[in-house]
Amino acid sequence: MPTELIERNRMKRQQLLALTLVLFLVLAGCTNGSLDSSSPSPNQPSSPDSLSIHYINTGLGTSTLIEGANETILIDSGDWQDDGEHVLNYLQANDINRIDHLVSTHPDADHIGGQATIIEYFENEANGIGAVYDPGITATTQTYERYLDAIEQYDIQLYETRAGDELPFDGAEVQVLSPPEPYLANEDPNENSIVLQVTHGNAGLLFPGDVADAGEEYLVDEYGATMNVSTLLAAHHGSRSSSSDAVLDTTTPAVTVISSPYDSQYGHPHDEVLNRLATRDIPAYWTGTHGDIVMYSNKSAMTIATQREAPTDPMRLRDGEPVEPEMDDPVKNRTVITLSADEKNPPDSETQTEAEPGELSISEINADAEGDDRENLNGEFITFENTGTEPLDLSEWTVADAAGATYIFPDGTILDSNQELTLHTGSGSNSPTDQYWGSNQPVWNNAGDTVIVRDSTGTMILEENYS
């Protein structure tokens, strides 16, 4: 725990506020167990040993809730223009009654815009704020002043947080990778964002704030392959100045999350970033089209849920329909990724350890529907067969293509011995012999693709290439 006092200079004040303690955090890394990925809840982790990561659709800003069995971390709270309303509504809807660790990655108003509101609500109407963490770089904005006022009013511990520190979190290891001492780039606020790496079993998640060239260069040089993660939150809302080739090649994420509105006034995410992701076949989830994005980790697999089903191919990201922060649709499971024991991201197909041989096989792939594929979506299909002697329960199993588009078999999907089940791309009413993806565009590439089937735990059952 912190043990020494530091002094912070609060700008545009008549008095200096001697606040807090030089961060001398002594922590323990903790362990966790398993999540039943067949039925994760968007409201609470589904087992005492699971971890939920909520990328909240705030529009222009950024906010992420990390929810363990006994503790919570809130990283930023969105843009000042809505005064924390979207984030607070989300926390209330998910029955969050305490924020143990409130992180301000840097003082920009699109990241700390709701911090004061969050502090006031949880101190007055809920179970309080445990501590606040920021990088120690001040701002002269009213948003920043109100944030400090709230900390002072409710006498909350404020920690200046730097590289090498850890947050004491029951259920995961939370390391601070940046900013270093001394600060980077003449104390530029973006470059000196608090960067957190969260490790939960085989799951690794990186939250880089708004770091750009200098901040990313420091991370790569200082940490290298130890930043190998399964999920990367694109820095600076998908700005071209961030998510560099070096960062992507070093972190090797399985998926990327981008937090920005569909019609961002800054053009986020920039095409340069999307091209970098596409070149590496990294699926992207975007709050602008997917809405709220929730990931559930059980240490060996991660279930991804979103409000809307939308393309994850970076080059097709803008084909999705815009999602406003006000939309209150529940999240639905979209895909499951398996995490290897040696890496924080799934291994490639050549090194994938598969489950014991199952009875599910593919009897027919019809990727090229008759006529115009877009006009005959149900003419595009995959037919599965149970070649074993016992029924197969396919509930919550997933079918995905190489780009990450994913279908989840609904609960109660049973495939009897020697029975076939055809999965059509378009819409229709499910039956014991036919199910419908519900996609509004073709899924399977006519020229060749890969059909990947995983069970409800994320274990790969089969992988079949066609050309």
Contact 171, 32 (CB under 8 A): yes
- Residue 432 belongs to domain spanning: 360-466
Whether residues 158 and 65 share a domain: the answer is yes
pLDDT digits (tens, 9 = 90+) for 142-155: 999 999 999 999 99
Whether residues 127 and 203 share a domain: the answer is yes
Whether residues 323 and 382 share a domain: the answer is no
In whole angstroms, what is the distance from residue 136 CA to residue 416 CA?
62
Give pTM, 2 decimals. Answer: 0.70
Q: Which of 23, 62, 68 is nearest to 49 (CA)?
A: 68
**Is the pLDDT at 29 greater than 70, yes or no?**
no
Whether residues 304 and 411 share a domain: the answer is no
- CB-based contacts of 159: which residues, under 8 Å, 6+ apart? 2, 20, 21, 23, 25, 131, 132, 133, 134, 165
Write out the H or E segment, with its range, that includes residue 257: strand 255-258
Is residue 198 assigned to a domain? yes
Is residue 76 assigned to a domain? yes
For the chain, how many structural domains are there in total?
Answer: 2
Q: Which one of 280, 308, 338 terminates a domain?
A: 338
Mean pLDDT is highest, among 32-46, 49-63, 109-123, 294-308, for 109-123
pLDDT digits (tens, 9 = 90+) for 98-157: 999 999 999 999 999 999 999 999 999 999 999 999 999 999 999 999 999 999 999 999
Is residue 218 assigned to a domain? yes
Higher pLDDT, 62 or 22: 62
Is residue 371 assigned to a domain? yes
For 424, the token pair is 């059509």
Could you tell me the strand order of the sheet in which 284-286 lies? 166-167, 173-178, 195-200, 203-207, 231-233, 255-258, 284-286
Contact 262, 235 (CB under 8 A): no
Is residue 349 assigned to a domain? no
**Is the pLDDT at 191 greater than 90, yes or no?**
yes
Whether residues 122 and 186 share a domain: the answer is yes
Is residue 352 assigned to a domain? no
pLDDT digits (tens, 9 = 90+) for 203-225: 999 999 999 999 999 999 999 99
Whether residues 309 and 425 share a domain: the answer is no
How large a percentage of the chain has pLDDT more than 70? Answer: 86
Whether residues 143 and 291 share a domain: the answer is yes
Is residue 7 assigned to a domain? no
Whether residues 22 and 159 share a domain: the answer is yes
Average pLDDT, the chain: 85
Contact 405, 312 (CB under 8 A): yes
Whether residues 276 and 406 share a domain: the answer is no
Whether residues 258 and 369 share a domain: the answer is no
**Is the pLDDT at 19 greater than 70, yes or no?**
no
Per-residue pLDDT at 31: 28
Is residue 2 assigned to a domain? no
Sorting pLDDT into bands at 50, 70 and 90, what band is 344?
low
**Is the pLDDT at 192 greater than 70, yes or no?**
yes
**Is the pLDDT at 440 greater than 70, yes or no?**
yes
Q: Which one of 281, 307, 338 terminates a domain?
A: 338
Whether residues 369 and 330 share a domain: the answer is no
Per-residue pLDDT at 308: 93
Per-residue pLDDT at 380: 96
Domain holding 376: CATH number?
2.60.40.1260
Sorting pLDDT into bands at 50, 70 and 90, what band is 69?
confident
Q: Which one of 290, 305, 338 terminates a domain?
A: 338
Domain holding 235: CATH number?
3.60.15.10
Whether residues 406 and 326 share a domain: the answer is no
Question: Cα 374 from chain centroid?
Answer: 31
